[in-house]
Chains A and B, each alone.
Chain A
Amino acid sequence: MVRNRILLVLVVTGLLASSSLAFLTVAPNRLVSGVPIGFGRVLHGWSLVVLVPGFVLALAAFLPQRPVLQAGIAAAAAGFLLLLLGLAGSAAALLAQTVPPVARISLGGAFWVLLAAAALALSDGLRRLALPRWALTLAAAALLGAVGVMLLSGTLDALAIHREYAARRTMFAAAILRHVAMVVLALLPATLLGVPMGALARRRPGVSASLFPLLNIVQTIPSIALFGLLLAPLSGLAGLFPALARLGLGGIGILPAVIALVLYALLPVTRNTAEGLAAVSPAVLEAGRGLGMTQPQLFWRVELPLALPMILSGLRIATLQAIGLAAVAALIGAGGLGAIMFQGLFADALDLVLLGVLPIALLALAANALFDLGIGHLRRVPR
């Protein structure tokens, strides 16, 4: 009798993937496609341990779903995830001894499917446990810590993605910094402009009627087209005023990218500010007026704090969007993680693409989690 169909689907998906796809691939160099190494071939000796949590998960799908079992499922899924990573690293290290040093050992489809299935099983188990927010944060930190220890201890050094990293350590760190800088540099002006614009749009329907269609059009235009459309006027400006060019204003580089990111970020920030302010109940405003508050006091002490969760969710949308768009900005020479991604794309090197893409995805997930924490905290604290 199946008691947890989600778990069953995940286990079956994992089994199918591990029997049909490569767990690792070995290629003589970056340009040639690799030879697949199946999951079965890396399972021997101590590495058979990885089957224990896998077996627990398969069995748990048929047991009555009690909280204690959910905790077990979450623990088994987390264990499976970490063992899988360790197994991939150590199997790659063993393989590396048998092949020339230029050979590249990459993670295969089976690894990624198993990893995703384990992560989904973990998140489903945690969801059913209905843990408080701090416990979830702690669990995420513990998992990330374990992955960090594995990275630092050299367990994953033989994998091609780590080799790509090792070949460009300083460039990689600079790319992350530049990516984050682009996002922050875009969000600051977008917040400073968007919140007042949203407040104005809330007060004056005329402003709102002309502002939002305009911002909506900007939001509609594909990022690379907007970069392109900004290019000609910006390089024209730089040509007219050499002083501006010295400041970095031109068609190419980080500044035009930041300008485009600000334009994109304005819609979510402005719209959510206006909606958040509109949602403040008139009774609360009346009470504030009754206490003798002036209009500015009312705005700063009542309206803005009450609208803050909504404004923050607008900022969340703007941040996630900016993290993704900053990757495209590499095409106009803005650098960042997108530069690594496109370098890999043009060289047809998946590991290099992943070295760019994984930090972008992690940045987005981290930003999302931070906003979740912040907004959840604001909604809970009585004010």
Chain B
Amino acid sequence: MKKTLFLFCLIIGLLYSSELLADPAKKILIVASYSRHDLCGAPQYEGILSALRESEFQHLDITNIYLDSKRLGGRALDKRKRELIQKIEREVPYLIITIDDLAFSVVAPQVVGNGPPWVVFSGLNRSLEEYNHALHFLDGRTPVKNITGVYEYLFMPEQIKFFDLISPEKKKIALLYSTDFMGNILKGQVVRELKEAGLDKRLLFFPVSDMDELGRKALQIENNPQIGGYIPLTMSVKGKKREKYTIKELAPLLIRKVKKIDLALNMAFTKSGFLGGVSVDFYQMGHQAGELAANILREYPISRLSVQRAERYRFVINKRRLKCLGLKLPVEVYNMLDEFIL
């Protein structure tokens, strides 16, 4: 009798508990390439969250993972990557949202196929063709597997127009880039965008790998009269002791050494001290990715969720840098600004 009673209670408990456990909140994993407060990553993250909040889903189980690649390197980064892969394998989230290239390059090869997990990327700088060559997840811009997202557009032609507006001599523009993973990617993207607009010949390339080289190249840019401005893409540069310096840390050095128009790729760079220009709106880019993610949560067919390009940019100028450079902008330019950073 006791056995029967126990079995009975157990089955009832299990049956009813299954109801309690039924329809759990879908698990979402947000993987950022950099740290929580990264100038590029953080706005995207906010935009993603905003879009998810705007969706009708009230209960979402969101987990964040920061690879923090700008700070970590070598083994520590590899370890973090392994942990991420293990977590994905263990928990099998319904949706993974990657922020920037590194996160995508780690996650996508592991999960590419038929979802779930579904993958939404945000802020890819490397060309989609390169990724597609390896993962075969796109047919044009239409996903054929479980991956879609928003790739970053640097609005380089608009940037060149802005440069010409304040420096009508149409001088060359130096592309100072680090030879690390992100530096090369960004350099490639810049070239690609300008090439599409037929403006790539305006560029002069200055790759750097360490601080010494950075110093030398900065000096070359400063002393080269053909160069009217430069685009800082020194994402990560090694120091003498092999320590890493990120763009945020390098900005004061470059500002000090190079007294030329520095075209910032985004508002975060501008806020770091560069002059600015046309900046991709990271928040909006993240929001776009977030809306794609919401549609995936709504179980829209992924083939209908084409890969998108970042749509919005903001026209931002750093007032301090402007003064430092002694530039005088036309009134119209001022009134075109979306933001005039003090």
A, B bound: no
